[in-house]
Amino acid sequence: MVAAKAAALLDAFDSSFNVRKHHLELIREAFVNEGIRALETDSDEIPAMIPSYVNSLPTGNEKGTFISLDLGGTNCRVAAVQLLGDGKVEVLEVKSAVSGDFRLGKVESLFNWMAELVIELVTVKGRHLFSPSEVDGSETIYLGVTWSFPVNQTDINRGKILRMGKGFSLVNADGRDLVELFHEAFERKGMNARVSAIINDTVGTLVAHAYQNPLARIGVIIATGTNAAYIEKVDNIVKLPKNYRSKHAHESMVINSEIDIFGSPAYLPVTEYDVQLMAGSAQPNFQHYEKMMSGMYMGELTRLVITDFVDKGALFGGVHPGGFDVPYSFQTAFMSAIERDFTAGHSDSINLLTDNYEFLNKPTERDVEIIHHIVKTISTRSAHLAAATTSSLIQKQDLHRDDSTEPIVIGINGSVYEHYPFYEERLMAGFELIYPQNVCSRIKVELARDGGTVGAALVAMLCSSKNK
Ligand code: ADP
Ligand code: MG
């Protein structure tokens, strides 16, 4: 009886979560069109298709030591990135958690603190990597900055801070020029340093991967959230100022797509569980696509499905485990542990469940098999959706065209892609639903380095050599 109930529920679950070829093609076309619109309109809403002002990629042969500074929600990381040529890098970093005082205080205090981290790197921890004149300040050092907060960028080294979010609420920060704030702090600290570029981590992912594989044309992040960068013709970036476009006509630029905000329930194959997740999220009706597939949400979707199965008597004997009602308590990493469990009797998965929730009766092997099926289906959907949206960036660059034999190289960064078992295979299976074999065989999906450090240092290098 219970078995029949579970089988019927699983069938219904499968048919709502399996995305088919026509869905993926619809999504690809819709994302292409949304992308074109976003390149044309300079909207006051949260922008997509953001110009990076990065208009060259590394060749892999560049050498030298460059500095990056990456301020994220939790940490500030300052790194000396040694470009060794032949796509090889070595990174030495100073990392420090951003304290509450810096999140809420005067903007100058935060920038003084970041300047001190640069001093620590150049004069102490990484001293051996810099020339005596760089260490004593008689020679200028150049930094690339990865800024993981909204910024209204108007050039590679110019951009005004918009509201910061992620727990930051600084006095006098909004509207200030990011690079000037750094330069003022360097001056206060008596440093001879300049910020030569500001980038976003997705742009960094593409640039960093291009150093490793110069054929890379797309960088994707599949982590807490998702995002992607690609290369666009300046002529097509209609929203750039006219004089910039005419000066750089026929050139290319890396675009931060902010693909996370693309997508509408009008064509996305949303299930009742997606609707439920959206209704309970902090920003309902925002990021429909990202909420179906990224690391922050897959575990929660799983929790909602399991809860429904328990409600209907198809799991855990119909008894809700203690603590299972806590939103976001079921992590995406649990899903990947369950898929990686090849122990006899699924003992690892059973232990994972009983370690995290309170059970009246221990979960059965059958319970785990059902849950395994659920997580496999949810993560497969994520990978297939990622293939569809990435293919929109392949289309925009016409990389799939029939007369080309070039590899289509995609660098991907993020814990979901890196650590979720079979994610890469499922991503490729998604491409196989979309493209014929001759195109799929050219698609090379590769693990990309962290764009926040290596990418920013590379862009600093590309820009400072131009400025010199
Ligand atoms: P960030 O988003 O800060 O760049 P990560 O690339 O580490 O950081 O991605 C974090 C996301 O990856 C989280 O949403 C988390 O759920 C997910 N994650 C972390 N470890 C794993 C894992 N082993 N398997 C699957 N997902 C994971
Ligand atoms: Mg990251």
| Buried b / exposed e along 348-377 (16+ C-beta atoms within 10 A) | bbbebbeeebebeeebeeebbebbbebbbb
- Ligand 1 contact, 236 CB (< 6 A): no
- Ligand 1 contact, 336 CB (< 6 A): yes
Residue 304: predicted pLDDT: 98
Atom of ligand 1 nearest to the CA of 331: 16
Torsion of CA 274, 31, 413, 279, to 10 degrees: -20
What is the DSSP secondary-structure string of 227-282? Answer: EEEEEEEGGG-TTS-HHHHHHTTT-EEEEE--GGG---TTTS---HHHHHHHHTSS
Atom of ligand 1 nearest to the CA of 332: 16
Of 224, 329, 453, best ligand 1 pocket probe by most atoms within 8 Å of the beta carbon: 224
Say how far apart CA 196 and CA 199 lie, in whole Å.
Answer: 10
Contacts of residue 467, Cβ cutoff 8 Å, sequence gap at least 6 = 196
Residue 465: predicted pLDDT: 66
C-beta of residue 51 within 8 angstroms of C-beta of residue 253? yes
> What are 121-155's pLDDT values in tens digits?
999 999 999 999 999 999 999 999 999 888 889 99
Residue 148 CA to ligand 2 center (angstroms) comes to: 10
Residue 25 CA to ligand 2 center (angstroms) comes to: 28
Residue 295 CA to ligand 2 center (angstroms) comes to: 11
- Ligand 1 contact, 223 CB (< 6 A): yes
CB atoms within 10 A of CB 410: 27
> What are 445-461's pLDDT values in tens digits?
999 988 899 999 999 99
- Ligand 1 contact, 416 CB (< 6 A): yes
pLDDT above 60 for 468: no
> Two tokens at 272?
């009742």
CA distances to 50, 128, 222, 390 from 414, rounded to whole Å, are: 21, 31, 5, 15
Instruction: Specify the 3-state DSSP secondary structure of 84.
Output: strand
pLDDT above 70 for 157: yes
pLDDT above 80 for 46: no
Of 415, 419, 426, 450, best ligand 1 pocket probe by most atoms within 8 Å of the beta carbon: 415
- The residue whose CA is least distant from atom 7 of ligand 1 is 415
pLDDT above 80 for 466: no
pLDDT above 80 for 45: no
pLDDT above 90 for 47: no
> What are 174-217's pLDDT values in tens digits?
889 999 999 999 999 999 999 999 999 999 999 999 999 999 99
pTM above 0.75, yes or no: yes
Q: Are strands 88-97 and 75-85 parallel, antiparallel or unpaired?
A: antiparallel
pLDDT above 60 for 242: yes
pLDDT above 70 for 43: no
Say how far apart CA 231 and CA 254 lie, in whole Å.
Answer: 4
pLDDT above 80 for 409: yes
| Buried b / exposed e along 113-125 (16+ C-beta atoms within 10 A) | bbbbbbbebbeee
